[in-house]
A and B are shown apart, each in its own frame.
Chain A
Amino acid sequence: MTTPVPPHTSDDELDEADLGTRLLSLERALTELPAARQTALLIGELPDYGDVLLVAFVPADAEREESTQRAARAACARLVPALPALVIPVDDIPYTLDGELRGQQLFDEMLPQIARDLLLPKEMSA
């Protein structure tokens, strides 16, 4: 059974509830990635960029890292097209001892790679 996703019309019409539903659907899709040991979904607020969808994943092995990244990117584009998305492989995802995601810590650790992914193509093509 699939969780219903409301039809997407335009960015202007995307309200918080709609976004919430889409994010949950995305989270569910990410948990079903067969070659990701762990995944985490964040909304990062970045200077000059605003909200960016950030997906961190720990690849099960190097061979399937690229395919997992492609699958996660496709899920982001399909389910939450209103937000730019970055899908970043990481060595580990930080959690508390009782299993809660340490979102800010993960974000801080990903920031250099986020900067690279967001800034470098733009700067190089300028």
Chain B
Amino acid sequence: MIKLQDALRHAAERPDHVALVDGGRRITWSELADEIAKVAGGLAAVLPGGRPARAAFLCCNGWELVVTMAAFETLGVSITGLDFEATPEATAEALEQLRPTVVVSSKLHRPLLIASGWADREGVLQVHLHGVGEELAAPEPIVPDPQAGEPVHYSTLAAAQTAVTAPISQPYEHFAVSYDAAGSPRLVIRRRSFEARRLAELVDEFAFDEDDTYLVTVPMYHASGPGWARVFFALGGTVVLGPYHDLAEMCRLITDEGVTTTLMVPPVLSRLLAHPASAELRRTSRLRFLLTGGQHLNRWIVNEAWDRFGPVLHHYYGSTETGLVTLLGPDELALSPCRSGRAMPGIGIAVLDAEHRPLPPGVRGRVAVASYQLMDAYGDAPAPSVLVDLSDGQGPRPFLLTGDDGVIDYEGRLELTGRTSGAVRARADGDRDSAFFGLETELLDQPAVRDLAVLRVTVPDHGPVLAVPFVPVARDLEASAYRAVSAVCARRVPWISAHVIAVDAIPYSPTGTIRTGELLTEIMPLVNLYIHLDKQSATEIPA
């Protein structure tokens, strides 16, 4: 994130300049440096000994997490984010591979930590951050040797009296977790830092400076989250922590905070561009660099981004394993296939055949990358690299084999054509979905039913239910249609509670698809009411 030494430098140059914005909290460089120093001091006093320190975190973005990450970096301890949407099994596997000595978590995601079996691991320090809506606990004095399993709260660390500015003595190692297509975690290890060189390359290319304001829209566990925030922290700029889902708030932040740069994954960017609040951004925002990357970028996003923001959209290709590989600016992006890019300075790209020989332009193959940002190993296994001679005078050099396919065009751009893992597969859930599959057809055969839809909905605090809105053929047949539909549901799908509701019409899109959102908006209040009444009658009528 940022080391204390850099924060102190910015605090000396512009103490009152805002460094970090999180909701209503605005932290100046002076305050940020002070907070990092205290938390680093607090952490240094309680780090478990015995083996090199390494930390993991499981929490949403927040100013406390930023300070904690900066404190760990100041101490020279790698801190690795874990996907809080992963399964407990995947989380446990990631933690087993990482073997952290410190686990940082917030209340919201602690159940996942507990389910993974790492909430009270012996010899592992637990640090609790305050999540949204949690009361700040009164700080307690630092205990030099906390009881095993006893958590240390952020407020306790921040109350440390001894500030620390120097790293602890241990070899440099940086860990990150990447997840494959099946959701299985892999530990990515780097043994040298590339940040200084990458910062120089980016500043040289895009003229980022201390007046830039960067909006964070991705979780910090994603490599790009802290990676890009670090660039603007290092320059002494301002970093704004944005919400993940609240697009109106995101638009407000872009305007009110004077955001100049941001990174958004294509799905978030797509939703932002479709949101009415983004219509005015071209007139009201200072946005000059909008970065996106990944396979879901499409032509609509490229065109709409130009309309709404002007020529600011840049497309990147990179991964946790490779770092930043290619970038394509707005002008070229408007005329190129959506997944194209040009190699960043200092990066080599090759498209290889099955025998790892370079393929000529125009021929599709596996993408391989030579870069100063490459990882060194996957856990105990070396990085999957091969020696390739591109006949460019540099001789054979190691290229990391990626999981992506691509083609280099005749103008030197790399176009990604997909993943080697292939298309996403999904399957019906055996017998249950088989029964469900024919349900709608049978329901529509009921003589008193004119039209009908079957919707599977997950209700918070209740679980999955079936919502079955139907249109009776006549008002006086509504009761018999209701009975018939309820009986078919009870017979065909007895394991899921079905809520049958009469409606005036089933809304359809122009192509004849049910407008699910519109229909759910109409019927969900009734479904929720029925669930509530069911629960109430179950409580009132003893068995």
Q: Point out residues on A near B: beta carbons under 8 Å.
A: 1, 3-4, 20-21, 23-25, 27-28, 30-48, 54, 58-60, 62-63, 65-66, 69, 88-93, 95-101, 103-104, 106-109, 111-113, 115-116, 119-120, 123
Q: Which of B13-21, B160-168, B512-520 contacts A (4 or more CB under 8 A)?
A: B512-520
Interface size class of B (residues with CB under 8 A): 35 or more
Q: A37-B300, A99-B266, A107-B426 are in contact. Are A88 and B441 (CB under 8 A)?
A: no
In the bound assembly, the distance between CA atoms of A43 and B517 in angstroms comes to: 24
Residue in B265, B273, B298, B436 whose beta carbon sits within 8 Å of that of A99 in the complex: B265
Best-buried of B221, B338, B423 by chain A (most CB within 10 Å):
B423
* Nearest-CB residue, chain A, relative to B437: A115
Confirm or deny: B510 has a beta carbon within 8 angstroms of a beta carbon on chain A.
yes
A/B interface sample: 18 pairs, CB < 8 A: A1-B415, A23-B422, A23-B423, A27-B295, A28-B417, A31-B337, A38-B270, A38-B296, A41-B423, A46-B437, A47-B433, A47-B434, A59-B509, A92-B517, A99-B266, A99-B294, A107-B427, A112-B455
Q: Chain B residues in contact with chain A, CB under 8 A? A: 83, 85, 179, 218-219, 221-222, 244, 265-268, 270, 273-274, 294-301, 303-304, 337-339, 362, 364, 405, 407, 409-410, 415, 417-418, 422-428, 430, 433-434, 436-441, 444, 453-456, 509-511, 513-517
Q: Which of A3, A4, A48, A92 has the most CB of B within 10 A?
A: A3
* Contact indicator B438/A115 (Cβ below 8 Å): yes
Question: Are A99 and B417 interface neighbours, CB within 8 A?
Answer: no
Do A43 and B364 touch across chains, with their CB atoms under 8 A apart?
A: no
Would you give the shortest CB distance from A29 to chain B, in whole angstroms? 10
Q: Report B242 CB to chain A, min CB distance, Å.
A: 12
- Alpha-carbon gap, A54 to B273, bound state (A): 25
Residues A98 and B218 in contact, CB atoms below 8 Å apart: yes
The closest CB in chain B to the CB of A120 belongs to: B441
A39 → B minimal CB distance (Å): 6
- Extra contacts, 18 of them, besides A38-B296, A98-B219, A119-B437 (Cβ < 8 A), are A1-B410, A3-B364, A3-B417, A28-B418, A31-B339, A34-B299, A42-B425, A43-B424, A45-B428, A46-B428, A89-B513, A91-B515, A91-B516, A93-B267, A97-B85, A107-B427, A115-B437, A115-B439
Tell me the minimal C-beta distance from A117 to chain B in angstroms.
8
Residues of chain A within 8 A (CB-CB) of B218 are: 97-99
Question: In the complex, are the beta carbons of B453 and A112 less than 8 A apart?
Answer: yes
Q: Name the A residues within 8 Å of B514 (CB-CB).
A: 112-113, 116
Contact status of A28 and B423, CB under 8 A, knowing A89-B513, A95-B265, A112-B454: no
Instruction: Report if A119-B438 is in contact (Cβ < 8 Å); known contacts: A44-B428, A96-B85.
Output: yes
Could you say which of B425, B430, B438, B440 contacts A103, with CB atoms under 8 Å apart?
A: B425
B residues near A62, Cβ cutoff 8 Å? 509-510
Once the chains bind, are B296 and A119 in contact (CB under 8 Å)?
Answer: no
Q: Which of B405, B417, B436, B441 contacts A111 (CB 8 A)?
A: B436
Kindly state the separation between the CA atoms of A46 and B121 in the bound complex, as whole angstroms: 43
| Cα–Cα distance between A34 and B304 once the two chains are bound (Å) | 10
Please measure, in the bound complex, the distance between the C-alpha atom of A4 and the C-alpha atom of B363, giving whole angstroms: 8
Q: Determine whether the beta carbon of B424 is less than 8 Å from that of A33.
A: no
Sorted nearest first, the 6 A-B pairs with minimum C-beta distance are: A99-B265, A107-B426, A24-B418, A103-B424, A45-B427, A47-B434
The answer on a CB contact under 8 Å between A89 and B511 is yes
> Are A28 and B337 touching (Cβ within 8 A)?
yes
CA distance A93 to B267 in the complex (A): 8
Cβ A112 vs Cβ B456 within 8 A: yes
Which residues of chain B are within 8 angstroms of A33 by Cβ–Cβ distance? Answer: 298-300
Specify which chain A residues have a CB less than 8 angstroms from the CB of B364 in the assembled complex.
3-4, 21
Tell me whether B441 and A106 are in contact (CB under 8 A): no
Contacts of A120 in B (CB 8 A): 440-441, 444
Asked if A97 contacts B244 (CB within 8 A), the reply is yes
Given contacts A97-B244, A99-B268, contact A43 B362 (CB under 8 A): no
Bound Cα distance A59, B511 (Å): 11
**Is the Cβ of B83 less than 8 Å from the Cβ of A116?**
no
What residue of chain B has the Cβ atom nearest to residue A35's Cβ? B300
Q: How far is the CB of B246 from chain A (nearest CB, A)?
A: 13
CB neighbours of B516 from chain A (8 A): 90-91, 109, 113
Residues of chain A lying within 8 A (CB to CB) of residue B510: 62-63, 65-66
Interchain nearest-CB distance for A108 vs B (Å)? 7
Q: How far is the CB of A50 from chain B (nearest CB, A)?
A: 11
Chain B hits for A32, CB < 8 A: 298-299, 337-338
The one of B405, B410, B426 in contact with A42, judged by C-beta atoms closer than 8 angstroms, is B426
Residues of A within 8 A of B267 (CB): 38, 93, 95, 99
